[in-house]
Each structure stands twice: as C-alpha cells, then as structure tokens.
C-alpha cells in the first residue's frame, strides 16, 4: 500500500514555525493556508531581509487578527541572526533563495552566498537549537543542472540531505521538496505573458519547450505532507503534469503572434526532476517520488518496507518532455483563471 497523506495537525498545531524567504509567493500561500487551517499554532515567524515586503504582508495579515505572526528582519547569510531567530522554533520551512537564472549567471558568487552558504548557515543553526523538522524547497533546475542557479540548489539539496547524517541523537528530520514551475509565481512565464499580451506579441524561446507545472496550493500541501511523511534525508518529487510553452501562450492570448526568440543562456529545452542516475535510489510512493541519499541511513529495501513504496525501474527518468501527463490549452486556461486570474476577457 502506498504512503498515505498524514494528518498535518500532528506537526503543525501547538508548534512554532520559522519560514525563511517568507514574503515571497510561496510564503504568502503557506501563511494563508496555515493560519486558516491550524488556529492553535503558537508562532509563525516570517524571516526575510525586505522590510517593505514584511510591512505589506503585515497589512494583509494584521497583528490584531493573527497574534501568532512574527516578522523577523534577517538574511540567511547571517548565521548569528539565524541562531537568534531559531529560539523556541520547532519547525523550519526554508524558501529563501536567489532564483533568477540570468542574475545568477551574472552575479554567481552572490547566488552561492545565499543558496549554498545560506543553506549551511541554516543547517548549523538548526543543529544548535531544538528544531525537530526542516523542509527545504528545491527546484527542477537542480537535477542535472546546466546553470549556476540549478547548481547552487543541487549543492543546497546535498547539504540538507547530508545533514541528516550528523544530527546525532537529536529528534531531527530534514528533507527537501523539489518541484517544477509554480503557476503564477513572481518572475514566471504566466505573469510575463499576461503583462505582454497587450503588445500583440508573445516571445517564445523555442516552440518545443516544455515545463512541469504545479500550483502554489499544491506546493504548500506538499510541504505540509513532507513534514509528517519524511524519515529524513529524502528529496521528494511530486507527480505533476507538463505543459508546452506554446500552449501557455495560446491559453493566455490566442490572438497574439508568437515570436520565436531562442533559448536563453543556462536554459533547458525540457526540465527534469529525476535523472536516470537517480533511479537507483528512487522510490515510487504513489502521489510522490522519494530520492534517497546514496550515503544515507535508509537502504532502499528498508525504506520501501517502511513506507509501502516500490523502487522505480533502473534507468527511470522524470522529464517534462517525456511526461505522460500534459495539460491542454483549455486545462491551462482554467488553471490560470483559477490560480492567477486576469483571464476574464479571454474567450
């Protein structure tokens, strides 16, 4: 029997959560879900370096209505500030990262300082405190990376999964969730196309390009699921559909001309979340896959026995171009309307 989705109340109610990068798209969705679903949470600490975004978030979630919310100015590059923020924290959700591929290519070490050194700072702060659960957010670009952003997130994933080996006798579980493009997130293709449709032309990098797709709601649910389901050291990957970039353009603006502009530096034609090399350590859990660390404490057969999962076939790869599930134009239009909006005038 495949791994079921546990009752999240076990890990959320009566706990204190630290959310790094908490003012981003994921952070807003996570906070909204947790506040609505778990009224007995003790504290939910938003840790980020942008005071304006924290101010704006506090207008949306005012203190008089949500006394459990706290706003903590800090950068994950600052280890001492992280240690201070960890006081009394049970659970950490790590969403802070530099994510723009072109910016990372131009400013590589700045990306490394946040995504790699920042990850290690967070891990050490967790090991020095009483934190019991850590879930770090990753990206499909971390699988067989060809750009610096993806390489830093692969390093980050390795740091988090390896940290499970040095936890000692602490009651600490650390895991990673890896998923594809988040529908409607800041800087992603859908808001870009919505903004550009008034021009009558949508730039298409390559007509064959595909991407995985997940909604913010699904991303939040996956993180909540991982908090309860992880044994420690896994990289969880969801079963999600793909889309063709040309279909997204058609769904948003069927009247617009699609202009081919070429793939940008550091960009793949298709994304993947599990490589063929990962297949030897990957377990099918039904709704999700789990990539186990090659040097972890959980041998494949033992993990399968514990979870009811099954090893994937050797050579299995999970690629947006060869995915069995593709979204149609009509499905995309419905999803964009539901999760992003701004499609009222599209026939």
Residues with a known catalytic role: 141
Helix 189-196 / helix 245-252 crossing angle, nearest 10 deg = 40
Contact by Cβ (8 Å): 41, 15: yes
State the virtual CA torsion across 175, 83, 69, 117 in degrees, nearest 10.
-50
Contact by Cβ (8 Å): 340, 186: no
φ, ψ for residue 218, nearest 5 deg: -65, -35
If you search the block for the tokens 């808001």, which residue do you land on?
191
DSSP per residue, 14-39 = T-EEEEETTTSHHHHHHHHHHHHH-T
Q: Which helix H or strand E contains 93, and what residues bound it?
A: strand 91-94
User: Residue 197 and residue 190: Cα distance in Å, rounded?
Assistant: 11
DSSP 8-state class, residue 199: G
DSSP 8-state class, residue 326: B
First to last CA, the chain: 44
If you search the block for the tokens 């950068």, which residue do you land on?
75
Cα 18-23-29 angle, rounded to 5 deg: 85
For the chain, the helix, strand and coil percentages under 3-state DSSP, each to the nearest 5: 40, 20, 40
Give which of 189, 221, 205 is closest to 26, Cα–Cα. Answer: 221
Contact by Cβ (8 Å): 22, 48: yes
User: Residue 76 and residue 162: Cα distance in Å, rounded?
Assistant: 19
């Amino acid at each position: 029997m495949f791994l079921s989705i546990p009752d999240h109340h076990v890990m959320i109610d009566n706990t204190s959560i630290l959310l790094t990068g908490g003012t981003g798209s994921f952070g807003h969705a996570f906070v909204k879900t947790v506040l609505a679903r778990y009224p007995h949470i003790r504290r939910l600490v938003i840790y980020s370096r942008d005071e304006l975004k924290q101010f704006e978030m506090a207008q949306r979630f005012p203190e008089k209505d949500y006394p459990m919310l706290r706003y903590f100015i800090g950068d994950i590059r600052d280890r001492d500030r992280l240690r201070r923020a960890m006081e009394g924290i049970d659970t950490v959700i790590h969403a802070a990262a530099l994510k723009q591929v072109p910016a990372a290519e131009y400013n590589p070490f700045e990306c490394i300082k946040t995504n790699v050194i920042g990850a290690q700072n967070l891990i050490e702060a967790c090991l020095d405190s009483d934190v019991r659960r850590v879930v770090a957010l990753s990206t499909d670009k971390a699988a067989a990376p060809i750009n610096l952003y993806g390489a830093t997130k692969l390093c980050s994933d390795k740091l988090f999964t390896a940290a499970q080996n040095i936890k000692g006798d602490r009651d600490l579980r650390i895991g990673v969730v890896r998923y594809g493009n988040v529908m409607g997130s800041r800087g992603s293709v859908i808001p870009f196309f919505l903004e550009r449709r008034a021009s009558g032309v949508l730039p298409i990098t390559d007509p064959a390009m595909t991407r995985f797709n997940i909604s913010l709601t699904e991303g939040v649910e996956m993180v909540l699921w991982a908090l309860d389901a992880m044994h420690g050291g896994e990289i969880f990957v969801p079963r999600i559909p793909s889309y063709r970039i040309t279909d997204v353009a058609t769904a948003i603006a069927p009247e617009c001309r699609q202009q081919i502009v070429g793939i940008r530096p550091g960009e793949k034609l298709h994304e993947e979340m599990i490589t063929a090399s990962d297949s030897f350590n990957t377990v099918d859990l039904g709704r999700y896959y789990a990539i186990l660390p090659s040097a972890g404490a959980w041998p494949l057969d033992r993990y399968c026995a514990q979870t009811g999962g099954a090893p994937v076939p050797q050579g299995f790869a999970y690629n947006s171009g060869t995915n069995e599930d593709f979204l149609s134009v009509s499905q995309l239009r419905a999803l964009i309307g539901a999760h992003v909006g701004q499609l009222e005038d599209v026939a």
